[in-house]
Amino acid sequence: MLQKRVLEQLDKKLKGPTYKDLVEITGIEQTRLFRIRNGSLMRIDELETILSVLGDEGLSISLFFDCYKYLDLETIEQIERKIRRRITIEKLKMEEL
């Protein structure tokens, strides 16, 4: 799940932050952060805030959102096909090892 991956990246970058640390860094309320960590879905503004904290580490996720924000569906489908082909090729290479 995207949310789980973003939270893992945040933990890795900040080296196991406390809720107090996260409140200071993100501006998101402590009770809300607790609920998010325990399965509540993030709102878009919360996700954007955390992605801005991640900077380059959140690039692939923010790139995903930009694709859906700015590109037409046909272009997105072309990109998806290319990515899926590349993943299949890499999986096959790994199986050969």
Whether 67 is covered by a domain: the verdict is no
Q: The dihedral of CA 4, 8, 14, 18: what is its sign? A: positive
Q: How far is the C-alpha of 27 from the C-alpha of 33, rounded, in Å?
A: 10
Specify the pLDDT at position 54: 86
pLDDT of residue 19: 94
Q: Give the pLDDT score at 48.
A: 85
When divided into structural domains, the chain yields a total of: 1
Global model pTM greater than 0.85: no
How is residue 19 written in tokens?
């809720």
Residue 49 within any structural domain of the chain: yes
Rounded Cα–Cα distance for residues 49 and 52 (Å): 5
Is residue 88 assigned to a domain? no
In a domain, 73, yes or no: no
Is residue 7 in a domain? yes
Q: What's the domain range around 47?
A: 2-55
Q: Per-10-residue mean pLDDT for the chain, 97 residues long?
A: 85 91 94 95 90 75 82 92 92 86
